[in-house]
Amino acid sequence: MNCFRSCFFRVALVCMALASCASLFGKQDPGPVYDVRNAIILSGPNMPPALLSGIGDRVNKAINATVRTEVYPRVVLTIRIVSIRRQQGYEKNQTVADITVDAASVEDGSVIAVSKFSVTSVSNNSSSADEILAEDISARIRSIFTLKAGSA
């Protein structure tokens, strides 16, 4: 019985210590929210058409599915695929894409937000690698600009 009490108090002490540490990390302020009106996909030559159309379709469906109840700055997204590196990783099944997204104001055309990121996609089937990469890039853009996932 004493062993049970001893273990119980140790667990309770550890739980209280962990709970007090959690309050040390403040919550991050949410980033700015924009009313995204449209998306344009840009890339260099030799970019697979399935990747470009996949990103465009997914992002535009997300834009159409997102309804803003408050007034936010209206923007148009310019999504640039800077580079793609294929057959990365130990098993040569990873694709890495570097992406830049500019949010330009609808009112005056000025760029009010820029996001640069890399996306790593894993696919064991080379024929579906572009679709998987398109979904991963679109998911990241939906997350950054607070868009809902569009329906098929």
Looking at residue 25, the DSSP 8-state letter turns out to be S
Q: Domains of the chain: which residue ranges?
A: 35-144
Q: What is the pLDDT of residue 138?
A: 94
- Is the model's pLDDT at 18 over the cut of 80? no
Indicate the helix (H) or strand (E) that contains 23. Answer: none
Backbone φ, ψ for residue 139 (5° rounding): -65, -40
Please name the residue that has the structure tokens 């890339």: 43
d(CA 134, CA 62): 13
Whether residue 63 contacts residue 37, with contact meaning beta carbons closer than 8 Å, is answered with yes
Percentage of residues in the chain having pLDDT higher than 90: 43
Higher pLDDT, 14 or 145: 145
Higher pLDDT, 68 or 75: 75
Q: What is the pLDDT of residue 16?
A: 67
Higher pLDDT, 15 or 122: 122
Higher pLDDT, 44 or 116: 116
Interval 115-131: pLDDT, tens = 999 999 888 887 888 89
Backbone φ, ψ for residue 86 (5° rounding): -100, 165
d(CA 12, CA 14): 5
Residue in 69, 45, 50 with CA at minimum distance from that of residue 148: 69
Has domain 35-144 been given CATH number 3.40.50.10610? yes
Residue 121 pairs with which residues in a beta bridge?
Answer: 95
Looking at residue 143, its amino acid is: S
